[in-house]
Amino acid sequence: MATQSDIDASSPKHLAGKYSIVGVGETTYTRGGGRTTRAMATTAIANAMADAGLTHDDVDGMLSYSNGDSTPAPFIAGDLGIRLNFYMDVYGGGSSTEALIGIAMGVIEAGMCKTVAIFRSMNGYSQVRIGGTGARAAAPVRGDEIHSRGYGWQSAGQMFAPSFMRHMYDYGTTPEQVAMVKVVHSEHASNNPKAYYKKRYTVDEVLSSRIICKPLHLLDCCVETDNATCIIVTRTERARDLKHRPAVIRSVVGRCCKPRIDMHYQHGPISTVAGHYAKNILWPNAGLGPEDVDVTGAYDAFTFTTMLQLEDYGFCKKGEGGHYVSSGITRLGGKRPNNTSGGHLCEGYTHGMNMVIENVRQLRGEIDDSCPIGPDGKRQHTYDYREGGCRQVKDVEVTANLGWANPGTGSAMVMVKG
């Protein structure tokens, strides 16, 4: 029987390089910021427009995603004086970022609008808790949910844990190896003035933090924060006239799924995640492979999610993810740093947006660390990765973002220096 994975989903190659990210912006990453999602979204978009050198007359498309915990695009556009030719508010969390970037390319290609602002605004700490605590945990259990929530199987960590456990069982992956993801991302965050948590952690500190849901300790889990983030997509041709060197999109994959996504554990190996399928779209469309990538942004909802994705997208052999993430490769100064902002484990939780924003800045060579600003107004990067120091990677040409919704669904994107 032919399986769904045999289908060639590669797209016309003429789109590779045709679209770029030209502006990025965010609010501060806080807890209890005391702002509505509406106020935060307008700030993030205003910051991204200013970053791009665009005004409200230049942006005519808007995309957002949420789980019903944000403010719809029309209110945000109204506040900013943007007249929309296109908008859509999509349901979803992690893995939406790259998927919406692909949708933005599609609607511009279709002639529906010219420039799209993608935003995610969330009070993930002070309103709808991303950890799933609060009102959502207490809601009645209906229909299909009985097969999961009825068993106390609800939060992201609880839902993903069987994949994580099975990876340890199948490949001998150790808690110490996986804890290194947090250690490395915390080092990166210590060089990121925006990060919510800037403290550097050790493997022992991760493993001695309390267990939330085996195999996850508290420090294997991401932070819950309040923030908004924005990414602006337009044609690369148009991007040439704007303020920064564009981050050129070579390839994008959106919410690619494993079989039986109604309950993906029915189809194994469950220690394999959606990247196993997504890589067959990502790399051929980009005309590049993992060995060409300088910086990765592998979604770190948990330490394990980073490892599983790097492995299934082919940055190491299957089963060697534990070694890969604990080898020093993913650290600033290593061969291929991952999540140089500190990511979701440390900088703030945005459902994927901040990892794309970080890679855009890496490609520009304009990471916002503490390095001194020179007479040309640009940071003079020292490439010294001591605590509190630089976090710009040298000579970044290619980045890869690996977005995660759950073990069965992922999105991804390859960008190159414009």
Partner 1 sequence: MTGLTGNHMGMALTVDDLDIENVAFFGYCASGDFRLQRCKENGLLRYPPTTRCPFSGSANYDWVSVEPRGTVYSYNEVHHAIQPAFKGKTPYMLLLVELDTQKGKPSEHDGLRVAGNLVTPDGELAPPEIVKKVGIGSRMRMVLKQVGEGIALPMWTLDETAQQPAKPWRYPQE
* CA-to-CA separations, 12 to 9, 15, 251, in angstroms, rounded: 10, 6, 11
Least separation in angstroms between residue 75's CB and partner 1 is: 31
Pick the piece of the chain touching partner 1 (CB under 8 A) from 86-94, 245-253, 268-276, 375-383. 268-276
Q: How many CB atoms lie within 10 A of CB 373?
A: 9
Residue 148 touches partner 1, criterion: CB under 8 A: yes
Instruction: Give the residue with the Cβ less far from partner 1, 206 or 231.
Output: 206
Alpha carbons within 13 angstroms on the beta-carbon side of residue 107 total: 22
Least separation in angstroms between residue 206's CB and partner 1 is: 11
Helices (H), 3-121: 37-52, 73-80, 96-109
CB 315 within 8 A of CB 190: no
Q: Which residues are catalytic?
A: 299, 349
C-alpha–C-alpha distance, residues 167 and 270, integer Å:
8
CB 397 within 8 A of CB 416: yes
Instruction: Give the residue with the Cβ less far from partner 1, 212 or 412.
Output: 212
C-alpha–C-alpha distance, residues 294 and 400, integer Å:
8
Residue 154 touches partner 1, criterion: CB under 8 A: yes
Least separation in angstroms between residue 229's CB and partner 1 is: 25
Size of interface with partner 1, in residues (CB under 8 A):
49
Residue 152 touches partner 1, criterion: CB under 8 A: yes
Pick the piece of the chain touching partner 1 (CB under 8 A) from 26-34, 120-128, 134-142, 277-285. 134-142
- What is the token pair recorded at 317? 């052999």
Residue 219 touches partner 1, criterion: CB under 8 A: no
Pick the piece of the chain touching partner 1 (CB under 8 A) from 137-145, 239-247, 336-344, 355-363. 137-145
Give which of 362, 343, 346, 408 is closest to 95, Cα–Cα. 408
Residue 91, classified by CB atoms within 10 Å of its CB into exposed (0-12), middle (13-18) or buried (19+), is exposed
Residue 203 touches partner 1, criterion: CB under 8 A: no
C-alpha–C-alpha distance, residues 387 and 188, integer Å:
8
The footprint of partner 1 on residues 384-413 (CB under 8 A) is: none
Give which of 407, 153, 410 is closest to 270, Cα–Cα. 407
Among 32, 53, 74, 269, binds partner 1 (CB under 8 A): 269
Among 35, 120, 166, 198, binds partner 1 (CB under 8 A): 166
Residue 2 touches partner 1, criterion: CB under 8 A: no
Residue 126 touches partner 1, criterion: CB under 8 A: no
Phi, psi of 164 (to 5 degrees): -65, -45
Among 270, 288, 316, 414, binds partner 1 (CB under 8 A): 270
Give which of 331, 69, 37, 33 is closest to 196, Cα–Cα. 33
C-alpha–C-alpha distance, residues 183 and 56, integer Å:
41
Residue 6 touches partner 1, criterion: CB under 8 A: no
* DSSP-assigned letter for residue 83: P
Give which of 160, 213, 212 is closest to 410, Cα–Cα. 160
Residue 133 touches partner 1, criterion: CB under 8 A: yes
Instruction: Give the residue with the Cβ less far from partner 1, 265 or 383.
Output: 265
Residue partners of 279: CB distance under 8 A and separation at least 6: 312, 313, 314, 412
Among 13, 109, 211, 243, binds partner 1 (CB under 8 A): 211
Instruction: Give the residue with the Cβ less far from partner 1, 1 or 373.
Output: 1
Residue 93 touches partner 1, criterion: CB under 8 A: no
Least separation in angstroms between residue 262's CB and partner 1 is: 6
Catalog residues that contact partner 1 under the rule CB under 8 A: 1, 3, 131-133, 137-138, 140-144, 146-155, 158, 161-163, 165-166, 168-169, 174-175, 207, 210-215, 259-260, 262-263, 265-270
